[in-house]
């Protein structure tokens, strides 16, 4: 498995559209989940009186998830095709857990958007407050450029070609507005529950001549690794491990981290030397973009490193914006009960950081499709409007211009448990 190129694949879409079930079925069909485990899960699903959820239980492992029949937290599983191996990141569709979905999407190279084609379900997901819409916006803004759309529950819409076309048309229209290149996207009819058109063509879908789900996934291109850029490694967490000391973990976004490197952790400023790097419990000499690693640094304490910090080399440390500084962002408002105005202070999510930030100015309202300026210094921005705004963090925040390091130049704005806006960093003043 380790010899094949690797891709992180996030599974997104509206609640109950069948994400976990489809991926569970795919893993069982490809043998990544053993028959024994599958039978065990069937038994557990019966005990919870949720027989039809047994495939979903491959990913839904928490008791609360199994009882409620929903995904809450991200779940990761590996699986391989002839040419690649994948880490599947199963995201929750429930709107209360969008922050987990954002974390998953920010780690992904590609996504499968699962859309139930069942009458009414496709429509609800695409509605103004639906998560098909919200997840698609977030995926695009978080830099997930490659997408496959599964039009799921084919058994319910009776493999009807007209219904399939209707779903494709509606989902395409949304994806086009968001900025996806719809011509490059495969739309695949599937039934996760029946395991149809996942790994082999399905007799009930004779009119369909496109790829199966696994073929579509296998066509994803490997992302180019930004090896020549300065090192940026956002910290996900740090643990104290007996005998080793404090071990921060995170994913290399850009650049290369080598054993023996001098490093600096921003915004705190701790400097030290990398003693060892570990990936999948094995020591490795260097880590490259896409690698999820843990590492140890001599003399590091838990106070020196936090989720949201960024590790870089001392000669080119990550940019830090202080509360005296600000950044200029281009944003799209996805949802707000009234309107966004100057002074509004929601939470900004970017790489692994979550920090409150204040809208210090609304500069321009833009036409979402053309980017042309519609209004200077607008008083408000409302749902579905695009704008250039200025934001100031209430605590120091690691951020970069999108143009220079896109991996650290995207952000989402959340409030009241929902995503209010997504955006990219056009410019910044550190305020230091």
Please give the biggest Cα pair distance in the chain.
65
20 binds ligand GTP, rule: CB under 6 A:
yes
The CA-atom distances, in angstroms, between 422 and each of 9, 383, 397 are 21, 12, 17
Task: Find the part of the chain contacting ligand GTP (CB under 6 A) among 187-195, 259-267, 360-368, 383-391.
Answer: 187-195
Nearer to ligand GTP, 113 or 357 (CB): 113
Nearer to ligand GTP, 189 or 409 (CB): 189
Nearer to Mg ion, 152 or 312 (CB): 152
94 binds ligand GTP, rule: CB under 6 A:
yes
Residue numbers 237-266 binding ligand GTP by CB under 6 A:
none
Prior bond of 267 cis (ω within 30°): yes
Neighbouring residues of 193: CB distance < 8 A, sequence distance ≥ 6 = 18, 21, 25, 52, 55, 153, 155
53 binds ligand GTP, rule: CB under 6 A:
yes
212 binds ligand GTP, rule: CB under 6 A:
no
100 binds ligand GTP, rule: CB under 6 A:
no
- To the nearest 10 degrees (0 to 180), the angle between helices 161-178 and 131-141 is 40
Question: Measured from the CB of residue 56, what is the shortest distance to ligand GTP in angstroms?
Answer: 4
- To the nearest 10 degrees (0 to 180), the angle between helices 19-29 and 35-47 is 150
52 binds ligand GTP, rule: CB under 6 A:
yes
Q: Are 330 and 423 in contact (CB under 8 A)?
A: yes
**Count, residues near ligand GTP per rule CB under 6 A:** 24
Nearer to Mg ion, 23 or 185 (CB): 23
Among 7, 10, 33, 193, the residue binding ligand GTP under the rule CB under 6 A is 193
Q: What is the DSSP letter of 232?
A: B
Question: Measured from the CB of residue 177, what is the shortest distance to ligand GTP in angstroms?
Answer: 23
Q: Which does 133 bind (CB under 5 to 8 A by kind): Mg ion, ligand GTP, none?
A: none
Question: Measured from the CB of residue 210, what is the shortest distance to ligand GTP in angstroms?
Answer: 18
Q: Are 101 and 92 in contact (CB under 8 A)?
A: yes
Distance CA 67, CA 423 (A): 36
Question: Measured from the CB of residue 30, what is the shortest distance to ligand GTP in angstroms?
Answer: 17
Q: Which does 220 bind (CB under 5 to 8 A by kind): ligand GTP, Mg ion, none?
A: none
Among 104, 192, 255, 308, the residue binding ligand GTP under the rule CB under 6 A is 192
Among 156, 178, 339, 361, the residue binding ligand GTP under the rule CB under 6 A is 156
The CA dihedral of 174, 176, 177, 178, to the nearest 10 degrees, is 90
Q: Are 65 and 24 in contact (CB under 8 A)?
A: no
């Amino acid at each position: 498995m380790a010899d094949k190129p690797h891709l992180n694949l996030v599974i997104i879409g509206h609640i109950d559209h069948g994400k976990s079930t489809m991926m569970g079925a795919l893993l069982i069909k490809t043998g990544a989940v053993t028959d024994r485990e599958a039978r065990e899960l069937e038994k557990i699903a019966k005990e919870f009186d949720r027989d039809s959820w047994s495939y979903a239980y491959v990913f839904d492992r928490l008791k609360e998830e199994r009882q409620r029949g929903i995904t809450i937290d991200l779940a990761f599983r590996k699986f391989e095709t002839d040419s690649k191996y994948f880490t599947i990141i199963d995201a929750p569709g429930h709107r209360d857990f969008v922050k987990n979905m954002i974390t998953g999407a920010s780690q992904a190279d590609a996504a499968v958007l699962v859309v139930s084609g069942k009458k009414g379900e496709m429509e609800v997901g695409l509605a103004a407050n639906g998560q098909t819409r919200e997840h698609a916006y977030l995926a695009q803004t978080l830099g997930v450029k490659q997408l496959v759309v599964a039009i799921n529950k084919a058994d319910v819409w009776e493999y009807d070609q007209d219904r399939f076309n209707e779903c494709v048309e509606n989902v395409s229209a949304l994806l086009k507005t968001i900025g996806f290149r719809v011509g490059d996207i495969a739309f695949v009819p599937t039934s996760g529950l029946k395991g149809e058109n996942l790994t082999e063509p399905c007799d009930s879908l004779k009119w369909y001549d496109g790829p199966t789900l696994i073929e579509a996934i296998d066509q994803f291109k490997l992302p180019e690794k930004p090896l020549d850029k300065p090192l940026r490694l956002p910290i996900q967490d740090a643990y104290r491990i007996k005998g080793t000391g404090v071990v921060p973990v995170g994913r290399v976004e850009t650049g290369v981290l080598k054993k023996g490197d001098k490093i600096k952790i921003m915004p705190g400023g701790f400097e030290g030397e990398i003693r060892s790097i570990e990936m999948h419990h094995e020591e490795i000499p260097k880590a490259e973009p896409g690698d999820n690693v843990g590492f140890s640094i001599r003399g590091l304490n838990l106070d020196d490193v936090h989720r949201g910090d960024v590790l870089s080399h001392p000669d080119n440390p990550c940019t830090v914006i202080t509360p005296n500084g600000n950044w200029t962002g281009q944003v799209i408002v996805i949802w707000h009960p009234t309107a966004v105005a100057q002074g509004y202070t929601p939470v900004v999510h970017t790489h692994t950081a979550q920090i409150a930030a204040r809208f210090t100015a609304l500069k321009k309202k833009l036409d979402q499709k053309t980017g042309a300026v519609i209004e200077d210094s607008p008083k408000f921005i409302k749902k579905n409007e695009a704008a250039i705004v200025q934001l100031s963090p209430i605590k120091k925040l690691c951020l970069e211009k999108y143009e220079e390091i896109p991996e650290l130049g995207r952000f989402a704005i959340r409030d009241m448990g929902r995503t209010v806006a997504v955006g990219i960093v056009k410019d910044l003043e550190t305020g230091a």
